[in-house]
Chain A
Amino acid sequence: MSDSKSKSAYGVAAGDTDFRKNWDLDEYAAKAKEREAKEREEGKARYEAKLAGKKYHKPLTGNETYTSARRNIIDVSAQVGKTQLVPAGTGVGKRGKGAGFYCEACDLTFKDNLQWVEHLNTTQHLLNTGQTTEVKRATVEEVHDRIEFYIRRKEDLEKEKATSLHDRLQLREEEMQKEAEEKRKKRKEETEKKRQEKEQAAKVKTEYGEDVRIEGEHDEDDMMAQMGFTGFGSSKK
């Protein structure tokens, strides 16, 4: 095959097809062979499992982690008000990316949060994301530590609450002052910028008197005056 590649169908190499991509056929052949071998192996394992009357499961890789509880409440309103491009032909079935909650690991889209949560809890999803479906039990020490953590958090919150009204008012005042200062600074900078621009413009005008016209400089203005308007929207000159 490879020697026929350099020649065209008419026996002479075509010179004008150099822009085409040259595929490395050997590499792809090797890849295909590998994939086929893998598929055959899996098929054999499936067949054997069926003969033994068992269900076939993909062998574990050994890198799986234990399933752990969610750390936060699932935020179902994160995509509200966002615009998304959705490929044509979606909206039928769950397969592929579409409008809704999309699971990358399983390549599925769900239309409501109940289905979404149910999917996140399925064995299929857990295995696809590299988790076993088992949860590690906590020891007594872990339980003790967790309780301690929450007690500390509670105390911190109470301390925050316990700051007196006077202190809170002072804090608030300081914040307000800071904000006001920043606003003032910004305003000052802007006015300074405007003033400089104006000065620059005035300087240019004084440098060229009305009678010292450079050829072609004010042609546009003249033309516009002739046609009966003075500018494009802006009132500045």
Chain B
Amino acid sequence: MSKFKNDTVQADARRFLDDRGSSAALAPNGLNPATIMEKAVKDRIVDSYFYKEQCFALNEADIIDRVVEHVNFIGGTHGASQKPSPFLCLAFKLLELAPSDAILNEYLSYGGEHFKYLRALACFYVRLTRQPKDVYQTLEPFLEDRRKLRRKARAGTSLTFVDEFVDDLLTKDRVCATSLWKMPKRETLEDLEILEPRVSPLGDLEDLLEEDEEENNDDRANGEREESGEISEGEMEVDRDEDRDDDWRSRSRSP
């Protein structure tokens, strides 16, 4: 009987997390949403006060309330007790709710324009549950979103950007205390003609590489004539590297 009632969802996660078999439907990529997150992380989420108080009886619209009011950083677990972040708790709630594509689109485009953490959350959810083709197609437009995000990890808080986060989702295998399922690479999908080759906003990648090579050739030709110039350039590069290192450290230290 409950199978036909699709307009309601259970208020708590008890049935969703039942070890004897979840009643929830599979995600579009064929995974069981109840096992996408790791058991240890899942247990921490369900035990956390934020989840019990703020994530109880949410529906798709209430998720927006919570994101706007409570999410001000992305991340998995933090602190000595490995407290799960509100971001992660809400991602888990989304797995429970399994919102439709239309609602996800609202989160990503209309809501995402104004609330960057809502977009980050929806991107994370899309990466966890959708098919590879859809993941690439929905997430790639957000590689042009340059808004800042705060990221809290075990090491401390650092600065990141929406495009960086989306890139992590597409390329890395572990983000926000969740191991992402292994997605085929973009090149493979292109070879299978499932995806069109991507045109980077920077322009054609091969043209860029060619230009670089030409510049290098020019440099070499110049360098043969004036050797001293090349040495000084090399030193400068070293300096620049050190600068970047310092920059990175200070960034990770800042709150």
Which A residues have a C-beta under 8 Å from some C-beta of B? 66-70, 73-74, 113-114, 117-118, 120-121, 126, 133-138, 140, 142-147, 150-151, 154
Identify the closest chain B residue to A126 (Cβ).
B11
Contact with A along B23-38 (1 / 0, CB 8 A): 0000000000000000
Complex A-B, nearest 5 residue pairs according to Cβ-Cβ distance, in ascending order = A138-B61, A134-B8, A138-B60, A147-B111, A69-B62
| Chain B residues whose CB sits within 8 angstroms of the CB of A137 once the complex forms | 6-9, 59-60, 97
Whether the pair B56, A69 counts as a contact (CB closer than 8 A) is yes
Whether the pair A151, B114 counts as a contact (CB closer than 8 A) is yes
Beyond A68-B57, A117-B49, A143-B60, whether A135 also contacts B110 by CB under 8 A is no
Whether the pair A135, B9 counts as a contact (CB closer than 8 A) is yes
Identify the closest chain B residue to A114 (Cβ).
B49
Shortest distance in angstroms between B46's beta carbon and chain A's nearest beta carbon? 11
Identify the closest chain A residue to B5 (Cβ).
A134
Whether the pair A66, B8 counts as a contact (CB closer than 8 A) is yes
Shortest distance in angstroms between A130's beta carbon and chain B's nearest beta carbon? 14
Whether the pair B60, A69 counts as a contact (CB closer than 8 A) is no
Interface residues on B, range: 20 to 34
Whether the pair A70, B68 counts as a contact (CB closer than 8 A) is no
Which B residues have a C-beta under 8 Å from some C-beta of A? 5-12, 49, 52-54, 56-62, 64-65, 68, 97, 100, 102-103, 106-107, 110-111, 114-115
* 8 Å CB contact of B53 from A73, A143, A154: A73
Query: How many pairs of residues, A versus B, come closer than 8 Å at their CB atoms?
Result: 91
B interface SS class: helix
CA distance A68 to B62 in the complex (A): 9
| Chain B residues whose CB sits within 8 angstroms of the CB of A138 once the complex forms | 59-62, 103
Identify the closest chain A residue to B9 (Cβ).
A135
| Chain A residues whose CB sits within 8 angstroms of the CB of B58 once the complex forms | 69, 135
Whether the pair B68, A150 counts as a contact (CB closer than 8 A) is yes
* 8 Å CB contact of B8 from A69, A70, A114, A136: A136
- The interface centre, meaning the residue of B54, B57, B65 with most chain A CB atoms within 10 A of its CB, is B57
Beyond A146-B64, A151-B114, whether A134 also contacts B10 by CB under 8 A is yes
Shortest distance in angstroms between A181's beta carbon and chain B's nearest beta carbon? 39
| Chain A residues whose CB sits within 8 angstroms of the CB of B59 once the complex forms | 69, 135-138
* 8 Å CB contact of A144 from B9, B49, B106: B106
| Chain A residues whose CB sits within 8 angstroms of the CB of B111 once the complex forms | 147
CA distance A142 to B60 in the complex (A): 9
* 8 Å CB contact of B103 from A113, A118, A143: A143
CA distance A143 to B11 in the complex (A): 18
Beyond A67-B11, A70-B53, A137-B7, whether A147 also contacts B60 by CB under 8 A is no
CA distance A235 to B58 in the complex (A): 68
Whether the pair B64, A121 counts as a contact (CB closer than 8 A) is no
- The interface centre, meaning the residue of A73, A133, A135, A145 with most chain B CB atoms within 10 A of its CB, is A135
Whether the pair B64, A143 counts as a contact (CB closer than 8 A) is yes
Whether the pair A136, B7 counts as a contact (CB closer than 8 A) is yes
CA distance A89 to B54 in the complex (A): 35
| Chain A residues whose CB sits within 8 angstroms of the CB of B11 once the complex forms | 67, 121, 126, 133-135
| Chain B residues whose CB sits within 8 angstroms of the CB of A120 once the complex forms | 56
Whether the pair B8, A121 counts as a contact (CB closer than 8 A) is no
Identify the closest chain B residue to A74 (Cβ).
B53
| Chain A residues whose CB sits within 8 angstroms of the CB of B5 once the complex forms | 134
| Chain A residues whose CB sits within 8 angstroms of the CB of B114 once the complex forms | 147, 150-151, 154
CA distance A134 to B97 in the complex (A): 12
Identify the closest chain A residue to B107 (Cβ).
A143
CA distance A34 to B97 in the complex (A): 45
Identify the closest chain A residue to B115 (Cβ).
A150
* 8 Å CB contact of A146 from B12, B57, B65, B97: B65
Shortest distance in angstroms between A34's beta carbon and chain B's nearest beta carbon? 33
Shortest distance in angstroms between A124's beta carbon and chain B's nearest beta carbon? 12
Identify the closest chain B residue to A146 (Cβ).
B61
